[in-house]
Amino acid sequence: MNVISIEAQNLISGFYSVTKIPATQNTKNSFFTTSSFVQCHGWVPFKTHNCFASLSLKSIKQKIEPKTSVEKSGDTVSDKEGIKTTKKKKLAVFVSGGGSNFKAIHETCVAGSVHGEVVVLVTNKRGCGGAEYARNMGIPVILFPRAKDELDGLSSSDLVAALRRFEVHYILLAGYLKLLPVELIRAYPKSIVNIHPSLLPAFGGKGYYGMKVHKAVIASGARYSGATIHFVDEKYDTGKILAQRIVPVLPNDSAEDLAARVLQEEHKLYVEVTAALCEERIVWREDGVPLIQSKQNPTV
């Protein structure tokens, strides 16, 4: 029986290899100029366990929507020798805090190991570390949502319009603490992911964010925790899980100790997932579960 091994290098959830996605490089950076439709008042708007599972080739093929290896015409550019390459995917990152996941993603995009470009940062906290970093990097910052007592910030429809204007392909939530509106979720189907600092579905949902998550994990006596990246739906943390990384919870861990251990894995996980998104290596199983195609071991 032919077997394709499902490899999850340092991940729990499934990588598997079917068809490789050729992909490389590059468009020039484009910077956003102020535009009348984005009124932002002075804002520039405008792992650790290898695990293997095996499914029969037949069952995988039946369950996986065939992935064409032909790039969509609009996604490719040709250099002067006529060599076709794929354009970088345009990314919007949403933060509310320090933005260490955002920085890890941005740095790997700039280094070229992730075939993407962060074209805009969205935050609800104008002074947060992530917004500061973005401004220092010349990345446009958008305030969303508009706070009740403030004039700054965009409405949901203006935000969708702004992201369209930036030609955003994927939205990456990285410590963003507000509920995304259904309007945005419907505008970007299967294109919005979030990172959560526990092994969902445990310790997720309303009220579970930041240190609150780690405190709850320790108080529960759980022996393992970790990071989860999932697709975003209309409720907090209930979208389809795409990838996870696991860490041990040690007997004398403080919430801060655990947070630091999980955060290290988050950075690796988010970079791996963003690379897979940008190389179009996400496929959807028949039952609606998303899988990451392994780059190392494509089917022959």
Ligand X SMILES: NCC(=O)N[C@@H]1O[C@H](COP(=O)([O-])[O-])[C@@H](O)[C@H]1O
Ligand Y SMILES: Nc1nc2c(c(=O)[nH]1)N[C@@H](CN(C=O)c1ccc(C(=O)N[C@@H](CCC(=O)O)C(=O)O)cc1)CN2
237 counts as binding ligand Y under rule CB under 6 A = yes
44 counts as binding ligand Y under rule CB under 6 A = no
Task: Enumerate the β-bridge partners of residue 223.
Answer: none
Candidate list 239, 244, 270, 277; residue touching ligand Y; CB under 6 A: 239
Please give the Cα distance from 217 to 199 (Å, whole number).
10
Binding positions for ligand X, 31-90, rule CB under 6 A: none
| Residue 115 falls in the annotated catalytic set | no
Candidate list 67, 75, 98, 289; residue touching ligand X; CB under 6 A: 98
Question: Which partner, ligand Y, ligand X, none, binds residue 101 by CB below 5 to 8 Å per kind?
Answer: ligand X
Candidate list 11, 174, 241, 291; residue touching ligand X; CB under 6 A: 174
Question: Which partner, ligand X, ligand Y, none, binds residue 7 by CB below 5 to 8 Å per kind?
Answer: none
Q: At what angle do helices 255-278 and 100-111 cross, to 10 degrees?
A: 30
Question: Which partner, ligand Y, ligand X, none, binds residue 210 by CB below 5 to 8 Å per kind?
Answer: ligand X
Instruction: Output 16 or 144, the one with its CB closest to ligand X.
Output: 144
Nearest CA among 113, 117, 134, 114 for reference residue 125: 134
95 counts as binding ligand X under rule CB under 6 A = yes
If binding means CB under 6 A, how many residues of this protein chain bind ligand X?
18
Candidate list 17, 101, 191, 293; residue touching ligand X; CB under 6 A: 101
Question: Which partner, ligand X, ligand Y, none, binds residue 234 by CB below 5 to 8 Å per kind?
Answer: ligand Y
239 counts as binding ligand X under rule CB under 6 A = no
231 counts as binding ligand Y under rule CB under 6 A = no
Q: How far is the CB of 274 from ligand X (least distance, A)?
A: 13
Q: How far is the CB of 203 from ligand X (least distance, A)?
A: 9
208 counts as binding ligand Y under rule CB under 6 A = yes
Candidate list 21, 142, 180, 283; residue touching ligand Y; CB under 6 A: 180
The answer to whether 41 and 34 are in contact (CB under 8 A) is: no
Per annotation, catalytic residue among 106, 169, 196, 267: 196
If binding means CB under 6 A, how many residues of this protein chain bind ligand Y?
18
261 counts as binding ligand X under rule CB under 6 A = no
Q: How far is the CB of 25 from ligand X (least distance, A)?
A: 27
Question: Which partner, ligand Y, ligand X, none, binds residue 206 by CB below 5 to 8 Å per kind?
Answer: ligand Y
Please give the Cα distance from 260 to 247 (Å, whole number).
11
**What is the torsional sign of CA 192, 193, 194, 199?**
positive
Instruction: Output 174 or 292, the one with its CB closest to ligand X.
Output: 174
Mark 160-197 as b/e (b = at least 16 C-beta within 10 Å): bbbbebbebbbbbbbbbeeebbeebbebbeebbbbbbb
**Interacting residues with ligand Y (CB under 6 A):** 173, 176-180, 185, 194, 196, 206-209, 232, 234, 236-237, 239
Residues marked active site are found at: 196
